[in-house]
Chain A
Amino acid sequence: MREGAFKVVLCGDGGVGKTSIARRLVGSGFNPLQRLTVGVAHYVKEVDVDGSPVRLVVWDLGGEERFRFMAPLFLRGARGAIFVFDVTREETFEHLEEWLEVTLSTVGEIPRVLVGNKVDLEELRVVPRTYAEQYARSRGFLAYFEVSARTGVNVDAPFLELARAILRWERGG
């Protein structure tokens, strides 16, 4: 197994912006006409964690209901997870619990962070920041981040936090 490379998964309902976040992360830019992810897509990003290079192999899971049954297959071996919801669609926040359950039942406890996307659409927001922060704390997330894949704001931060946590986890910290 390659040292310093870790599999991480992007979970969350269809249309929350997982692929747009992943594309931003690897410098591919924002595509307003981004099509749905069929099954899964993969991205590789190297991040620097306090001087140590860490390569994240990002598995961007198709969020549509019809691909959901394959999620356990794709989750296998994940060392970290990023759960994404859309701050303008309440149901995507409510469905986080389902994504969390399937993740925990497949890979057990792994480092995870929560991400609220589309904060550029502040006027359409229906999930308050404090509510998401409270949920993140209560369900074992390391942190909650608000990002915008459209503008690129804060997109790297959750991946860096997750990489740092995975390294700590791997070192038994």
Chain B
Amino acid sequence: MGLAAQGRFEAVSRILDEMRRDNPALDAVGVVSSDGMPVVTLMSEADELKVSAMVATLQGVAEQVIKELRGGAMKHMIVTSEGGALIVKSISSDLILVMLVKAESKLGFALWQAEQAVQKISKILSA
């Protein structure tokens, strides 16, 4: 990994760290590539390789469904469970943000965090 890439990687890591610090209900967060490999992840108990592959699949299939139904550009995907909510949001054509928040957390705040993170990460990557 080159110095510039290392710097970007560390900057993205810091953004994810901040998200966790600001939201105790954020169980897992990560940036994965659209071909399904982890870039930066904070998901202690999960297999990040498997999760990254699954997230890329979810995103890819959801985009296809929306395109097929002529639903316009996809903004984000929310999957709710007994334990909480999974948020998947595209950062760019190559990167995806994934978050898992606890059920008791405020979904609106998590979505706002996701939006903020996407903007910051996009800025870092385009710099």
Report A's interface with B, CB cutoff 8 A: 1-2, 5, 7, 39-40, 42-44, 55, 57, 59, 70, 73-74, 76-78
Provide the B22-38 mask, 1 if CB < 8 A to any CB of A, else 0. Answer: 00000000000111111
Taken together as a complex, chains A and B put the C-alpha atoms of A44 and B52 apart, in Å, by: 11
Q: Are B57 and A77 touching (Cβ within 8 A)?
A: no
C-alpha gap A158/B54 in the complex (Å):
24
Q: B53: which A residues are within 8 A, CB to CB?
A: 7, 42, 57, 59
Kindly state the interface size class of chain B when it binds its partner.
10 to 19
Number of A-B pairs, beta carbon distance below 8 Å: 52
In the complex, chain B residues whose CB is within 8 Å of the CB of A74: 57, 60
Q: A2-B38, A57-B49 given; name 19 further pairs at CB < 8 Å.
A: A1-B33, A1-B39, A2-B37, A2-B49, A5-B38, A5-B49, A39-B61, A42-B36, A42-B50, A42-B54, A44-B47, A57-B36, A57-B53, A70-B60, A73-B61, A77-B33, A77-B34, A77-B35, A77-B36
Q: Does B49 contact A40, Cβ atoms closer than 8 Å?
A: no
Q: Is the CB of B61 within 8 A of A7?
A: no
Subset of 18 A-B contacts with CB under 8 Å: A2-B37, A2-B49, A5-B37, A39-B57, A40-B57, A42-B36, A42-B57, A43-B50, A44-B50, A57-B37, A57-B49, A57-B52, A70-B64, A73-B60, A73-B61, A73-B64, A77-B36, A78-B35
Minimum CB–CB distance for A11 against chain B, Å: 16
* CB within 8 Å for A7 and B35 given contacts A39-B61, A73-B64: yes
Which residue in chain A gives the minimum CB-CB distance to B5? A1
CB nearest to A6 among chain B residues: B37
The CA-CA distance from A42 to B35 in the complex, in Å, is 13
Q: Which A-chain residue is minimally distant from B51 (CB atoms)?
A: A42
Which of A42, A44, A70: most chain B CB closer than 10 A? A42
State the CA gap A156–B124 with chains docked (Å): 41
The answer to whether B49 touches A44, judged by C-beta atoms less than 8 angstroms apart, is: yes
Least CB distance, A49 to chain B, in whole angstroms: 17
Measured CA separation A144–B48 after assembly (Å): 31
Determine whether the beta carbon of B64 is less than 8 Å from that of A57: no
B91 to chain A, nearest CB (A): 15
